Amino acid sequence: MSWRNTASRYGTLSISIHWLMFLLFIGVYGSIELRELFEKGSDPREMLKSWHFMLGMLVFILVWLRIAARFPGHAPNIHPEPARIQMLSAKLLHLALYALMIGMPMTGWMLLSASGKAIPFFGMELPALIGTDKELAKQIKEVHELVGTVGYYLIGLHVAAALYHHHIQRDDTLLRILPERK
């Protein structure tokens, strides 16, 4: 299998990044949801919050690699070709997912910056993007949480669309992004 996209399927690089992002999303959302099981200020809760941020920053880094991986080639063709409205809907959903993968880590980074908190990244500390401003931090937190909730729906819609194409439309949309079987 080629590392680059072909006319019929995604390359190894695109497939690997896609499924790594899937796992990172599970980690990002899972860590922030699981923190609720622990008391505020407790070590496990703080650890989960740190993991939420660090995994979110990995999403931010990988999304740029993912975008760069798209440039050398195009997305593989779908067979049979879906209706134009489905193609447009897919493009809009993918655009929204890319905005999520860029915007959420940025607002998280800005939130920690405005809160005056350390910005951990696997043993390092990232620089603050903005100065401490508690009122701004509250506003950023509201936006971050709202968009995080919207993210659940975007991801769910993405999964539902892939399953719809595979089981109802019976096209190769899903097969193009699955690792090749021997």
Per-residue pLDDT band for 27 (boundaries 50, 70, 90) equals: very high
Is residue 117 classed exposed, middle or buried when 0-12, 13-18 and 19+ CB atoms within 10 A define those classes? middle
For range 95-124, the mean pLDDT: 97
pTM of the model: 0.93
The full set of domain ranges for the chain reads 12-169
Average pLDDT of the segment spanning 90-117: 97
The whole-number pLDDT of residue 6 equals: 85
Per the CB < 8 A criterion, the answer to whether 108 and 69 are in contact is: no
Q: What is the DSSP code (8-state) at residue 181?
A: P
Q: Which fold has domain 12-169?
A: Fumarate Reductase Cytochrome B subunit (1.20.950)
Asked if 52 and 31 touch (Cβ cutoff 8 Å), the reply is yes
